[in-house]
Chains A and B, each alone.
Chain A
Amino acid sequence: MNALERHRKLTEIWASDKGFKGWFSTVNHNDLGRMFLVTAFFFFIVGGLLAMLIRVQLATPHSAFAGPEIYNQIFTMHGTVMMFLFAIPTFEGLAIYLLPKMLGTRDLAFPRLTAYGFWCYAFGGSMLIVAMLFGIAPDGGWFMYPPLTSAIHSPGINADFWLIGITFVEISAIAAAVEITVSVLKYRAPSMSLAKMPIFAWYALITALMILTGFPPLILGSVLLELERAFGLPFFQVDLGGDSLLWQHLFWLFGHPEVYIIFLPAAGVISTVLPVMCRTTLLGYGWIVSAAVALAFLSFGLWVHHMFTTGIPHMGLAFFSAASTLVAVPTGVQIFAWIGTMWKGRPELHLPMLHILGFFFTFVIGGLTGVMVAVVPFDWQAHDTAFITAHLHYVLFGGFVFPIFAGVYYWLPHFTGRKRFFCLGELAFALVFVGFHVTFLAMHWVGLLGQRRRIPTYAPEDGWTAINLISSVGSFILAIGIAMILVDVVLHIVTAHRGRRNPWNATTLEWAMITPAPAYTFASLPRITWRDPLSAEPDLAVSLARGEGYLGTPRHNWRETLAVDIASGKPEMHVLYPANTRLPILMSAVTGLFFLSLLMKFYWTVPLAMGGVAFLAWKWVWGLGLRQDQAVQSVGHGLSLPNAATVARSPGWWGTAFLLTANATFFGALLFGFAFLWTIAPGWPPPAWFTPSIFELGVGISGAALAPLAIRHATRVNESGGTPFPTVILALCGIVALGFACASLMWRAPTPNEHAYGATMLVLGGYGTFHTAISGLMGGFLTAQIRSGYTSANRRAAFPIVGLWVKYTSATGVIILLAAHLPGLIP
């Protein structure tokens, strides 16, 4: 088979459906990565237009442009769109598009999950845009503090759009994060050990792990606030045992890591592009990885610096002030490594390099004002002024938008296979750079003169008029610059001017293929023993296209790849991907129905939607079942590997493990909330504790002990060729017992509408009940699979996955029951 025949055959196997219908059924990361990026840039334009409206309003004193109600919606939507609908999805899109190519594999771990995540993002984002078009957009600021956003002070539907819409979008972030984590750890070219990974993959891995642990507190906060608004459970109402500060803790527990979730991928782009622009290799790879890890962790210990003015004891403030100054160190390590890289090489001022220089200049200033506001007394003065908004744009625009523009121009030839031929991009960069600094330097200044953020207008006597006008003029220069970049990109895409492969002479694997990338990505998979594969083997692309790598012969219409051992990159299993399907879009539409029902308060469609999701999920996994035992498959070069369905730790097991990591963070945040209210909120102890019951506690804990033991036994029996059916049933009985105890906790929670304690008991019980339902569903699924002959000693991967869920449900169930029953039992 020659290269062209191989290309045709592989394309036939991997291609999405033809025409625009293909968009709805594609599960290919090439398509979905592009769809993510295009959608994210659409939202960038929306957010940018809103920014222009803000600057129009503030350009003159006593502006009559928009009233306060509308202005509140404008700045809230600007912040929300930029953070949730532009920045995070841009990272997701870039990672989805690039990772398989950089890692030397054919697709991400769970292609249908990629598609599901995309549609959740598209639908959730649309909900917010629709709200805006109808003039009922959220208006409580992007961090939505109660009591302002509680039902009492924001009775309309506006706040619900935020809480429900953003939670919907968050599902896509969690999906993408699970996907990226498992892909980086398991889906790499043979022999690509962790140490040989391209630096971008490290950043993507760290960012994804941060999403898994950073987003759940916000999801929890949104759930609790929506419960308060819809059903009157008073989590944030001080007079009923709640505390509005709990929201601030939950929000910033997410919100500060979020800033680094946005910055780290951008740093990954810089670490990838900069060495190429300087014709050298990255200096201090190990230092950079260590700095990124340190940054990720430290960023979880900073959240209270957003709450310096809330009256927290001084020692608490000092902890977070110290931690906030400390993050400057790993950031500095990265900056110095980049400067060293430039020093070592011969920088060439191509367009991506200009944007990187723009990043350096802007981000360093943003970092310095960041250290300023980390100092408590200064923050007390600057809090809630335009100085803060100026600071945050220096870090977000400097630390994200400039690097992303660098990345866009760097990878554009890869996306299109064309080359740029106007100089529009250079001019646009100049306008963006100048416009940005005029806008936001002015805002620092006017902030120090006392202009608060989020004010709809001001008086001429305030003395801010001239500076605001300068800032607004600057923002229009900026907007023109960004518009020119978009025009440049569109021109690039539509004008036919074929470029050559690898125009930058880059050394990472994504350039070892024809561009635009084919649906199958690599015609055969490389063996990677170098960090810069293309400088070690310049002809790699040709030899891969000739099928000289692994899996070079298309067969049985299979979409196949292989997965590796995490640390060493030793090939471990043979993976078959699912085909094109509309299941993901359907499932996210039904998920959307669930959220819409909550929003519109059509509570009778809620169970319908939940049933629908369960049904589709069942169908989703059922389709993966195999009726015959799988022998080891030859993958080329004399290597044979077992099928992924025949191993104990399949990709699905890893995905489950990381999903449960996120889930555990959610649960941990819930326990934190309980402890916080108990110890800090005024209005405790509650009028009545939950009435404990030794019987329920006993039944629940016995069930929780029985279920994991039984499922473990079933796994063993199945592996040794026996019939696991009876023990799976036994595990289900245990789950039912635990479910009974949790449901009873919900049922008997003392007056949830009258005190936050009862409300917390209701939510804890609900959490347990929900998880027993999931575990029950999975146990039921497993029995159905066993009955229909889908499992055997060989096809065993499903057992450990169900086992993980059952163990998780039992462990959290025990904690919940103890937290509920013990306080009443101890006198």
Chain B
Amino acid sequence: MTEVLRILIAPLVWLASFSAIYGLHGLLCQNALAAVAGFPAERAVLMAAYGVAIALQIILLWILHHPRFAAPSGLLRFVSRASGWTGLIASVWTLFPVVALPTCF
């Protein structure tokens, strides 16, 4: 089962963080927060979450490349690393609007 898990974990974490940040965005825009030193707090929270999501993926990718945790067989190693990269790219790209767009509009 760990072989299957290695393949699924990174995209699963992307899916979780993507949904969580979408939900968080909805929550933040429902309940206005005070600005911190002129910088809107919603935006700061979302950007922090974006950073965490990317960091998680980088850690996962590192784990999948680490000889101690990597899959033993060639194909499964390839597929699990490819899905690790998928998770990272998907996190950077799909959550990019956090930094590019006004938060609650």
Contacts and interface: CB of A to CB of B under 8 A. Distances in A.
B7 A293 contact: yes
A567 B26 contact: no
A195 B15 CA distance: 26
A301 B17 CA distance: 11
Q: Classify the secondary structure of B's interface with A.
A: helix
Nearest to B86: A294
Contact of B26 (A290, A296, A316): A316
Interface string B1-40: 1011001100110110011011101110110000000000
A289 B75 contact: yes
B73 A300 contact: no
**Number of chain B interface residues as a range:** 35 or more
A566 B1 contact: yes
Nearest to A185: B4
B22 A314 contact: no
Nearest to B10: A297
B22 A195 contact: no
A286 B82 contact: yes
Contact of A680 (B12, B30, B73, B95): B30
B86 A297 contact: yes
Contact of A679 (B7, B19, B30, B105): B30
Interface residues of A, number: 32
B12 to A, nearest CB: 7
Contacts, number: 109
B3 A566 contact: yes
B83 A313 contact: no
Contact of A318 (B11, B76, B82, B97): B97
Interface stretch (A319-327, A399-407, A619-627, A818-826): A319-327
Contact of A315 (B23, B79, B105): B105
Given A313-B105, A323-B94, A290 B74 contact: no
A679 B73 contact: no
A469 interface: no
Given A193-B73, A195-B73, A293-B7, A315 B97 contact: yes
B75 A314 contact: no
B3 A194 contact: yes
A253 to B, nearest CB: 10
Given A301-B18, A301-B94, A566-B4, A290 B86 contact: yes
Contacts of A298: 11, 86, 90
Given A194-B75, A314-B105, A319 B86 contact: no
B86 A313 contact: no
B55 to A, nearest CB: 19
Interface string A564-575: 001100000000
B23 A319 contact: no
Nearest to B29: A313
Contacts of B95: 319, 322
A579 B95 CA distance: 53
A297 B15 contact: yes
Contact of A290 (B15, B82, B103): B82
A290 B73 contact: no
A534 B89 CA distance: 39
Nearest to B2: A567
Interface in A231-273: none
Interface string B71-104: 0011110110011001001100111111011111
Contact of B83 (A193, A294, A566): A294
A287 interface: yes
Nearest to A324: B94
Interface in A134-185: 185
A72 to B, nearest CB: 33
A725 interface: no
Interface in A758-808: none
A427 interface: no
Contacts of B8: 293
A371 interface: no
Which of B4, B22, B79, B98 has the most CB atoms of chain A within a 10 A radius of its CB?
B79
Contacts of A300: 15
A667 interface: no
A567 B3 contact: yes
A314 B12 contact: no
B75 A286 contact: yes
A645 to B, nearest CB: 21
Given A675-B23, A679-B30, A680-B26, A289 B3 contact: no
B103 to A, nearest CB: 6
A293 B11 contact: yes
Contacts of A445: none
Nearest to B103: A315
A285 interface: yes
27 contacts: A185-B4, A194-B73, A195-B74, A195-B75, A286-B75, A287-B82, A289-B75, A297-B11, A297-B14, A297-B86, A298-B90, A301-B19, A301-B90, A304-B22, A313-B25, A313-B105, A316-B22, A316-B25, A319-B25, A319-B95, A322-B94, A323-B18, A323-B93, A323-B94, A567-B3, A679-B30, A680-B26
Interface of B: 1, 3-4, 7-8, 11-12, 14-15, 18-19, 21-23, 25-27, 29-30, 73-76, 78-79, 82-83, 86, 89-90, 93-98, 100-105
Interface of A: 185, 193-195, 285-287, 289-290, 293-294, 296-298, 300-301, 304, 313-316, 318-319, 322-323, 326, 330, 566-567, 675, 679-680
